[in-house]
Chain A
Amino acid sequence: MAKKRTEILVIGGGPAGLAAAKAASSHGKKVTVIDENPDFGGQIWRAEKRVLSGKAKELLDSLEKNGVEMLASCTCVAALPDKRILALSNGRTFPIAYDKAIIATGARERFIPFPGWTLPGVYGAGGLQALVKGGFDVSGKRIVVAGTGPLLLAVAAYLKKKGGNVLMIAEQAPFHKILGFGMSALRIRGKLAEAWQLRKEIRGIPYRTSSIVTEAHGEYSLTEVSIRSSGQDSRIGCDLLGVGWHLVPDLEVPDLFGCGLSARGVNADRYMRTSVDEVYSAGETNLVGGVERALIEGEIAGLSAAGKRKLARSLHAKWDRLLGFSDRMHETFLSEPSELRKLATDDTIVCRCEDVPFGRIKYFECFNKAKLQTRLGMGSCQGRVCGAACEALFEWDRNSVRPPIVPVRVSELANLKTEND
């Protein structure tokens, strides 16, 4: 495949990536955006049956006008020397050369293992929503939405709208924390209307705080869940469970580039510069903090990469105001994981790719030692699911990544060698 070259390469076409591409292309830069998904917009703007609308469409239209190159179903699998990446699309690899790169890979759900969580019928909360947007018909299905975070409300509202029979939202955080979070969110313009709308949409669905799903039951697929609500145990029959424990940043790509990372995400400065020269990072990759924040960070990153520092600086005040929201979100949700750590039993699978159970890894002192002895994190997902799970269960540091970060055929890697020669 032909080699590609661009001035500004944006990795990830969600709100942050699209905003970055718009800002940079509006200042005359040649921009290329790649995204692993078949459509742009990221998780938050994932469209029903692939038809985008609203802000996402507006941004995409302006990118088209600015002549931005958009490569969907295209994954960054490795960072190569001389400011190039190795991209994978339709099973084929090819390098893309860039002057500056902006990483906007976003976030994913955090999963915490509990007995029965590998049964078909148990999904992530956002995961279930994504599948329904992709056409999964949940009308008439009995659904429990559980875990923690503001996402649960949006997911429950959406599933209800799609005809799902949402039996309950089980939120792990206690009521007083949710209340505090709600009050602080009201100080941000737009959040009040958003909250009011959501409240209307989820009317009739029981919202239980201090509640967790302790076990999923079923022989071949889900039939029942056990719920512990303020210390009281009960079982309810259901067809689907959507359970997610807030979000964690997607750090495989910044890790490939060698960017400095902290527990919260990429360490980027006020101009979204990472520790690596000419590499920027924006949005949830830096800190899980919502779409408004991602849009501003994207714009700052795009302007900085285009050399428009003064314009980037003019956005700092607005950016600072949204910073507090993320802090409060993290303080509210998953601030007390101790109870969750007790859910997994010795035979509960932690690594779903290699079927490594909790009992085999619990005595190790770190991820890598467990990995060497048990194959934890060595399957197809390369620790994307069990890595965050082990952080929550054992406070182990993240597993480091190795390219290629998604499975690539050996013949395709062999092609790369020929290209270098």
Chain B
Amino acid sequence: MAETVTFKIDGTEHETSPGTTVAAAMLNAGVTAFRTSVTGEPRAPLCGMGICFECRVKIDGTENVRSCLEPVREGMESETGG
């Protein structure tokens, strides 16, 4: 297994170790607002296990993916602000 995985958050390249979830990798990269709520508040992961949907982002063009359930893959692109 490769020692690092390269992926993008909002167009910027980042590296992380294999087995890291997208949510964890984004937190490590300093992302605080994963999505914007219906009244405009910044939101970030709450439950860490796929229940709350607060960590949802766009991954490789698919919207509303729960980033806490998704391991980072080489070349993956995630986008916040959904």
Which of A's residues lie within 8 Å of B, judged by CB? Answer: 36-38, 43, 48-51, 73, 91, 108-109, 111, 118, 120-124, 126-132, 134-137, 220-221, 250, 352-355, 379-381, 384-385, 407
Contacts and interface: CB of A to CB of B under 8 A. Distances in A.
A135 B25 contact: yes
Contacts of A48: 19
Contacts of A385: 46-47, 51-52
Contacts of B48: 123-124, 126-131, 134
B44 interface: yes
B51 A381 contact: yes
Contacts of A353: 38, 53
A136 B23 contact: yes
B56 A380 contact: yes
Contacts of B25: 135
18 contacts: A36-B50, A36-B69, A49-B20, A73-B69, A120-B34, A120-B43, A121-B32, A127-B47, A135-B24, A135-B25, A250-B51, A352-B43, A352-B46, A380-B64, A384-B51, A384-B52, A385-B46, A385-B52
What is the size category of the interface that chain B forms with chain A? 35 or more
B37 A381 contact: no
A120 B44 CA distance: 5
Q: Is the interface of B mostly helix, strand, loop or mixed?
A: loop
B46 A38 contact: no
A314 to B, nearest CB: 34
B46 A135 contact: no
Interface in B32-79: 32-34, 37-39, 41-54, 56, 62, 64, 68-71
Q: What 10 A-B pairs are tightest by C-beta distance, nearest first?
A: A135-B20, A49-B19, A130-B48, A120-B44, A134-B21, A127-B48, A135-B24, A380-B53, A136-B24, A134-B24
Q: Is the interface of A mostly helix, strand, loop or mixed?
A: loop
A118 B43 contact: yes
A385 B21 CA distance: 22
A118 B18 contact: no
Given A73-B69, A130-B68, A352-B54, A135 B47 contact: no
A118 B37 contact: yes
B14 to A, nearest CB: 12
Given A131-B45, A131-B68, A220-B42, A352 B37 contact: yes
A18 B37 CA distance: 37
Given A127-B52, A221-B42, A355-B38, 10 more contacts: A37-B69, A73-B69, A120-B43, A124-B47, A124-B48, A131-B48, A134-B68, A135-B19, A352-B54, A384-B51
A38 B68 contact: no
B24 A381 contact: no
Given A91-B62, A123-B45, A137 B38 contact: no
B58 to A, nearest CB: 13
A404 to B, nearest CB: 13
Contacts of B71: 38, 50
B65 to A, nearest CB: 9
Contacts of A137: 24, 28
B49 A121 contact: no
Contact of B47 (A38, A109, A136, A379): A109
Contacts of A37: 49-50, 69
Given A120-B33, A120-B44, A352 B50 contact: no
